[in-house]
Structures are given as C-alpha cells and as structure tokens.
A and B are shown apart, each in its own frame.
Chain A
Amino acid sequence: MNIKEAKLNIEYNILSVQANNDLHRRLSEIGIYEGGKLKIIRKSLLGHTYLLEIFGTTIAVRSSVLKGVELGN
C-alpha cells in the first residue's frame, strides 16, 4: 500500500523504496529501506507531512519524499 493509505500507530513493513539516487540513499540512512519497518505516529495540519517512528526515534518527513515507499503489514 501507498504511505497515504497507511493508518496511524500501526507498524508496517517497508516492501520497496523507489526514489532518485541521492534521496534513496538518504532515506536508507535514516532507516527507511526495503525490509525495514516504520510507524506513522502523527500527520501535520494538512496531512502532507508525517511524523514517523523509526528505531524508536521520531523523524518528520514530507509525504512527497515517501511517495515511492510501498508498505505492507
């Protein structure tokens, strides 16, 4: 499923990540990589920015950055 369809406070498996090279590398450095896990803990006012929990750390990420992230249960 796309990140937009993901529900709050549920841990998802990251099935695949599609992004340009630099962004793909940066995402992997903060723990968003194929085979990893993430949880959306909050959405911003207009819902275009997500607050993610990765490895027990909170990271704010813009939704456009996560467009290429496919999630699964």
Chain B
Amino acid sequence: METKVVLVGNPNTGKTTLYNRLTKSDEHVGNWHGVTIDAKSKSFEVDGQTYEVVDLPGIYSLTPYNPEERVTTDYLFHNKCKILNICDINNLKLNFYLTLQLIEAGYDVSIIINITDKKDHSSLINRLKSVFKDKIAFINVQKDKNLHNTIAGVLNNKTTIQLDIPYFSKFKDITKIISKNASNIKLSSEFASIKIIENDTEIIKKLQLDESQVQAIEKCKHNLNVDTIARLRFDFIQSILVEKKQYKVAKVDKLLLNRALGIPVFIGILVLIFYITFGPVGTFLKECLSYFIQDFIGLNLYEFMQANNFNYVITDFVYKGLICGVGGIISFLPQIVLLFFFLSILEESGYLSRLAFLFEDLLNKIGLSGKSLFTLIMSCGCSTIAMMTARNIEDENIKKKTMILSTYMCCSAKLPIFVILTSTFFSGNYLLIFGLYILSIVVSVFVAMLMKRSLPNKNDSFILEFPCYRIPTLQKMWKFICSNTMLFLTKIGSVLLLFSLIFYFLNTYDFNLIHIDLGGVSIMQRVCEVIAPIFAPLGFGNWGAVSALVSGIVAKEIIVSSIGVINGVGGSEIAQSLVDTSSNIYFDTTSALSFMIFALLYVPCLSSISVMAKQLGGALTTKAIILQFIIAYIVTLIVYLGIKLLDINFIFVVLLFVVLALIVTIGRKKMSPCAYCRKNCEDCCIKRLD
C-alpha cells in the first residue's frame, strides 16, 4: 500500500530539495521565498514500501495569507495524511511556530531538521531528541547519503509526538463549548479554540457555531487575543530550544544593503554581467558556434544536397528555412547560457531578497512591491516563466501589474536581434544593449505609474524573510542553466521549427502556391505590404521588417530566423544583408535603432499571452497588449523622429530630463495607503490608540 507524505514547512527550508532527492526529480529550487507555487507529487520506494511525496508551497501558519499558502492549507484540511515538517536548524524558533500548530491541529507530524551548516549543534540535537523522541531526524537535505532510509524510519515510527502543551489549559472552557463542532470538521478542539481567539474567520465559519455558543465563547475569552497566543507559543518554543540564537550581520550585507552604495553596487554588477555576456567573451563564443553550425555543418550539408541532386524544394527549405532560420537562432546559445549562468548566481546566492529590500521603497512609489523585483529580474531570462513567480505577491493588483510589466522587460529571446543589429550598425557596442535594458526599465516605470490608478494597491504589507547567503553550488547552477537552455532548445525544436516552416512557406510561395523564384510575390509580402505603411513613420516601413515583427509574435526568437529566410541568407551573411538596400529587410543606423526599440517593447510572445490570459483574464490581457503596442509605437516614434529631426545629443538631454522629471514626480507623491485605514494618513494608528 502506498503511504502519502506531505512536505510542509516555512518557505525556503529545503522542502523542494528534499522532494527532488527523494523522488529523483528536477523541480526548480531557489534561495528565496515563494519558489514553489503549486502542489507536486511523485513516489519513491524503500524496502518494498512505496511513499507518495507531495511538495507544497511554504507557509508560516495554517491560516493562509496569499494564494500559494492557500494551496497548502486547503490541501492539509482536505487530506489527512502523514506530514514531514521540514525545519532549518538556524531558524528553529520561527519554524517551530508552524510545527506547534500542526501538532495542535492533531496531524501525524514527523520533523526533519535540515542542518545546512558545519557548526556543532550537538547540545541542541540532544535536547530536541529528548522532546520529540523518534519522530525527529537530523539530516543535511542536500548531501545526506542515507536520506531515503532516514525518512522511511521516521515515517514508519508508529508513535506520535506527545507534547505537554501548557497553554491548552487556558482554552479549556472554549474547548468544551466547541468540541462537537470541531470533531465534525475533523479538527482538534484545542486548535479550533486557538483559531477562534485568533479570529480566523474561515475556521469559525467551518465550525458553524450557533448564537448561544458565540455568546458563551465571548464570556470565556477573558484577555486572550492574537498577542497572547503568539506569546504562549513562542515562550513554549523557547522552553524547548533553551539557547537563544545570536544574530550576526553578514559582512557583505554592510556593502550590499548600504543606503548610499547598495544600488550603485547592483548597477555595477549588472554592467559586469552585460560586459561578459555581450562583450568579448560572449561574442567570441557566439561566433565560434555560428561558424560551426552555419559555415561548417550548414554549408557542407547544402553543398552535399546540391551535389547529390536532392529535390529543389527540400534543398531550398533546408538552406533557407533550417540553416538560415533555425540555425541562426541556435548560434546565440552561448550568450543565453551566460545570461542564465549569472541569473542562477543571483538567485542561488540569496542576493535577490536583499534587492527586494533595497528597491522596496522605490517600487512602492510606483505601485509595485519589492517582491515584484524577483519577477522582473527573472523575466530577463524568460517572461513566461517569470510571470509564474509573481503568484507569491499578496496583493492581487500588484501581482497583475507585475505580470504585465514583466512583458516589457528584455527577455533572452530578444537578444539575438539586438546582437545582430548592434554588431552591424553600432560596431557591436554592448553598451547600446545595456541602454535598451535601461529603456525597458524606464518604460516599465512609466507604465506602472499609468496603471497606479486603474489598479490601485489593496494590501500594502511588505514582509519578507531574508535567506542566508549561500555559495551557489555547481550542481544547482548546472541544473538551472540546463533546464532553461533545454527549454530554449525545445522551443526551437518544436514551436520555432514549426513556425519557421510555416513562415518559410508564406515567404516562398505566392497565393497560387507557385515558388516565388518563378516570378511571383509571396503570400507574406502581399499581406505585409498592406500593414507596412503603419510602420513607415518609425523608419522601417518595408514589408520584410514588418513580416519579421509579425512572426515575432509567435516567439521573439523567430524574428532573426525570419530575417534569414526573407533575405535568403544565413550565418554572418544575415548581418551583411541588412545593410544591402536590395534586400527585403534592410535598415540604416536610425531605422535599425527604432526597429530594436519596437522589437523590445511591442506585444509579448504567444506563450506569455496565454499565461497572462490564464492569470489576468481575457479582458485585462487584451487591454495590456493594446497598451503595450501603443506605447511601443509612441516611444519608437519619439526616438526615431527625434534623431531624424534633431541632434542625437539633444535627444539624450531630453530623455535625461524626462527621467529626472519622473524621479521628482515619484518623489513628491505622498506615501501609499497605510495598512490599517487604507487612506493616505500618517498617524492613523495613533488616532486608533487614542
């Protein structure tokens, strides 16, 4: 028979790491809160016994505060199963607050203490063993070699944790009143009593108390409230732990969280990442792969097919569709891998949480939260995946705004087009790509301010526990890079290959299905010639550029493959074809810049749109996409006309003034609504106290 085991614990205690090791899975693990957003389950076997393990999002208590916590609490209330409560040895006082609630609620709890450091914890371990007997185990979740047997041993122990909880006596009167109601919903009456005192409306509703019971309970409450419950629980936990943990500020935090230096240091780190990714290192690796795929494999294959008289249509598709199109995207793999390498360091080290604190004030001014920063930084990799991380934001409107803004960020799929155009028209100046990232941030700030009124913040409470700094392990970084790279390659092998085939067909055949080499005009050209005049004011009103943008709606990577297909070239020839005015897609320096800006900001890809529609609803998604297109058009138009009509230095000064004006405007705004009265008051709590 299969034993169901649920992994429960505070966020970032090692639940998913344990899940991965027990079930040999590869679920994403990160050193910040809210990585797990849904329930996942898989089985493992020890000595013929099968265990089904369920990994759930982290919680602080059995009363949910956001949708992810609700996933866990709902699961626990509807499934009576064995619980593996994972606690971090360096954070036991806070972690045991949840353990205590699980024991109060009557669950079959086994405790796993994750020893993440090399300190000597022997006295604490002995003390905990004497309290929790055989229902507690001490392991290093990441490294323990005997993990399966240890877990099976704890789970198979038939005893239950017997804690003499001293404060239960304080609720005995209420317990008597509600005992029947509590047993009806299979809840321990002591735990239900505590939840009544804590005024947990959901449990009170489930208990279905009648009027007389409510009145009787009111008489029994005396001075009991949320604070007394917390004090009683924490005092009891302290009596178990005995020793008090001493806090030490990490030396690196003195620099990274410094009020004056914190943000400049972060910008410095970003510049370094960009220099390595798009500077000499990234470019060299890209060119090596490009030569290997296109000039070595591609051309040899093409010549082989020609020499052996392969069918013309197949040879043409292999050269234009595959080698020029799909091959063109694969050559950007080294730079994308480098970007994911640095993102994995940011995520694994624990720096992301510090950044959330550092930017909380600024983001709050524009109606976002410090927690939005996780999503926005992760969307530099892939906005579709990053959008899912926004689910751990408590405020529904901040969550929506964060998801919308993540599509404005410069994701890795947009990099190939920037790299090609920058190397062709701007001597490969990586600072221009950095400038595009900055532009996407400035536009996002502007859009966030636009949305501030239509999507006002409802819950202003930013609470975030800091994880300890960790040196990123090679294994975890490798997993992070591999999973994201595989996603990129799978996309190329499935969606991109399919759409490259479709776009190859649309670009190569006319409406009578005759190859355009025989003198016709392609289907894509016919359609895009109708749309192209709309983009003429932006400087790229030729049908080829518009066709590339249309194909980019499916996935941004396709823009480069489309250029290859439309211009009928591959490899290093793509860049050369863009300056040739006889090509279907060609640019001058100004139109290349405006094309990059438009490609940066215009509508998100199909996979992002589908996630948005699922999370935000169809109406809001449609509005967001239309707004994004209009903003992309206006920003591109301003930059293009500005450069054409005025001096570029003048434009730079104007943009600088706009940024300064934005900063001043944001700075002059009053503080956002307070958590109590929901108004812009400064001293409502003092009034309440009066």
Q: Interface residues, chain A, CB within 8 Å of chain B?
A: 2, 16-31, 33-36, 39, 41-49, 51, 53-62, 64-65, 67-68, 70
Contacts of B257 in A (CB 8 A): 42, 51
Chain B: CB-nearest residue to A9: B249
B667 to chain A, nearest CB (A): 9
Q: Quote the shortest CB–CB distance from A53 to chain B (angstroms).
A: 5
Q: Mark B214-236, 1 if CB is under 8 A from A, else 0.
A: 00000000000011111100100
Establish whether residues B675 and A29, one from each chain, have CB atoms under 8 Å apart when the complex forms. no
List residues of chain B with CB within 8 A of the CB of A22: 65
> Is B247 in contact with A67, judged by CB distance below 8 angstroms?
no
Q: Is B200 a contact partner of A25 (Cβ separation < 8 A)?
A: yes
Q: Do A20 and B676 touch across chains, with their CB atoms under 8 A apart?
A: yes
Give the distance in Å from the alpha carbon of A61 to the alpha carbon of B364 in the complex: 13
Across the interface, A51 reaches (CB within 8 A) one of B94, B97, B227, B357, namely B357
Asked if B464 and A60 make an inter-chain contact with CB atoms under 8 angstroms apart, the answer reads yes
Contact A29 B244, beta carbon cutoff 8 Å: no
Whole-angstrom distance between the Cβ of B192 and the nearest chain A Cβ: 15
Shortest Cβ-Cβ A-B pairs, 9 listed: A56-B245, A28-B230, A34-B227, A33-B230, A62-B462, A58-B466, A46-B361, A68-B685, A55-B93
Q: Are B675 and A18 in contact (CB under 8 A)?
A: no
Contact B361 A57 (CB under 8 A): no
Q: How far is the CA of A8 from the CA of B73 in the complex (A)?
A: 37
Q: Are B675 and A57 in contact (CB under 8 A)?
A: no
Closest A residue to B353 by beta carbon equals: A60
Contact status A59-B463, CB under 8 Å: yes
In the complex, chain A residues whose CB is within 8 Å of the CB of B262: 45
Taking CB atoms, residues of chain A closer than 8 Å to B686 are 2
Question: Do the beta carbons of B356 and A60 come within 8 Å of each other?
Answer: yes
Inter-subunit contact B689/A70 (CB<8 Å): yes
* Docked-complex contact A18 and B676, CB < 8 angstroms: yes
Q: A56-B93, A64-B674 are in contact. List 18 more A-B contacts (CB 8 A).
A: A2-B686, A20-B675, A21-B201, A25-B61, A25-B198, A25-B199, A36-B234, A42-B257, A46-B362, A55-B94, A56-B91, A57-B466, A60-B356, A62-B360, A62-B462, A64-B673, A68-B685, A68-B688
Residue of A nearest to B686 (CB): A2
CB distance from A7 to the nearest CB of B (A): 15
A60 and B357 form a contact (CB under 8 A)? yes
Cross-chain contact B227 with A17 (CB below 8 angstroms): yes
B465 touches A21 (CB 8 A): no
In the bound complex, residues from chain A placing their C-beta under 8 Å from that of B688 are 18, 68
Tell me, yes or no, whether B671 is within 8 Å of chain A by CB: yes
Chain B min CB distance to A40 (Å): 12
Interface positions, chain B 333-377, Cβ under 8 Å from A, are 353, 356-358, 360-362, 364, 370
> Is there an interface contact between B234 and A44, defined as CB atoms closer than 8 Å?
no
A16 to B218, CA, bound (A): 22
> Which residues of B are in contact with A by a Cβ distance under 8 Å?
60-61, 63, 65, 90-91, 93-94, 97, 198-201, 226-231, 234, 244-247, 249, 253, 257, 259, 262-263, 353, 356-358, 360-362, 364, 370, 460-466, 671-676, 684-686, 688-689
On chain A, the residues within 8 Å of B230 by CB distance are 28-29, 31, 33, 36
Complex interface: chain A residues within 8 A of B466 (CB): 51, 57-60
Do B231 and A35 have beta carbons less than 8 Å apart? Answer: yes
CB contacts (< 8 Å) of A64 on chain B: these are 460-461, 671-675
Q: A20-B675, A44-B361, A68-B688 are in contact. Are A55 and B245 (CB under 8 A)?
A: yes
Q: A49 to B689, alpha carbons, bound, how many Å?
A: 23
Contact present for A21 and B199 (CB under 8 Å): yes
The answer to whether B464 touches A36, judged by C-beta atoms less than 8 angstroms apart, is no
Pair A61/B462 contact, Cβ less than 8 Å: yes
By beta carbon, the residue of chain B nearest A42 is: B257
Interchain CA distance A28-B65 in the complex, whole Å? 13
The reply to whether A18 and B689 contact each other, CB–CB distance below 8 Å, is yes
User: B364 contacts A62, CB within 8 Å?
Assistant: yes
Chain B residues with Cβ below 8 Å from A34 are 227-228, 231
A67-B685 in contact given A44-B357, A60-B360 (Cβ < 8 Å): yes
- C-alpha spacing A65/B676, complex, angstroms: 8
A–B complex contacts, Cβ < 8 Å, 15 sampled: A16-B689, A20-B675, A20-B676, A24-B227, A25-B61, A30-B94, A48-B361, A49-B462, A55-B234, A59-B464, A60-B356, A60-B360, A61-B462, A62-B462, A65-B462
Cβ contact within 8 Å between B689 and A60: no
Best-surrounded residue of B227, B247, B364, B684 (most CB of chain A within 10 A): B227
Q: Is the CB of A23 within 8 A of B245?
A: no
Cα of A45 to Cα of B90 in the assembled complex, Å: 28
In the complex, are the beta carbons of A31 and B358 less than 8 A apart?
no
Task: Select A57's contact among B94, B200, B244, B358, beta carbons within 8 Å.
Answer: B94
A23 touches B361 (CB 8 A): no
Residue in chain B with minimal CB distance to A33: B230
Residues in A with CB closer than 8 Å to B200 are: 25
Assess the A33–B227 pair: CB atoms within 8 A. Answer: yes
In the bound complex, do residue B689 and residue A45 qualify as a contact, i.e. CB atoms below 8 Å apart?
A: no
Instruction: Identify A28's interface contact among B226, B244, B364, CB under 8 A.
Output: B226
Chain B residue nearest to A44 in the complex (CB): B361
Contact B676 A19 (CB under 8 A): yes
Residue pair B370, A60 in contact (C-beta under 8 Å): yes
In the bound complex, do residue B361 and residue A31 qualify as a contact, i.e. CB atoms below 8 Å apart?
no
